[in-house]
Amino acid sequence: MARKVTVEKQDEPEYLTVVQVATILQVSTSTVTRQFGNMEGVIDLGTPERMHKRRKRILRISRRTLERFITERQVRRRR
């Protein structure tokens, strides 16, 4: 008999794609890439810029970073 092994996820951050974040925020993918490109909690899987070649950006945005961004935006709008 094979023994069943279960692995529990413990506080693993869930990463979202640019398209998913754009859908949640109701903005374009370009806006998400521009606003989240240099934030902490964002993983850039793209390629660097090379001579005569544009840089390709593939971002993965953690759910915590998205929540922090939304909270900061709400505080700014209230002022």
Domain annotation covers residue 2: no
Domain annotation covers residue 35: yes
Domain annotation covers residue 63: yes
Per-residue pLDDT tens digits for 28-65: 999 999 999 889 889 888 877 788 877 788 899 999 99
Domain annotation covers residue 72: yes
The pLDDT-based confidence of 7 (bands split at 50, 70, 90) is very low
Question: What's the whole-number average pLDDT of the chain?
Answer: 82
pLDDT at 75: 74
Domain annotation covers residue 8: no
pLDDT at 29: 94
Where in the sequence is the domain holding 40, given as residue range(s)?
Answer: 15-48+55-78
Domain annotation covers residue 6: no
Name the domain count of the chain.
1
pLDDT > 50? residue 18: yes
CATH code: domain of residue 21: 1.10.10
Choose among 20, 16, 23, 70: nearest CA to 42: 16
Domain annotation covers residue 64: yes
- DSSP string of the chain, one letter each residue: -PPP------SPPPEEEHHHHHHHHTS-HHHHHHHHTTSTTEEE-SBPPBTTB--B--EEEEHHHHHHHHHHHHHHHH-
Whole-prediction pTM? 0.70
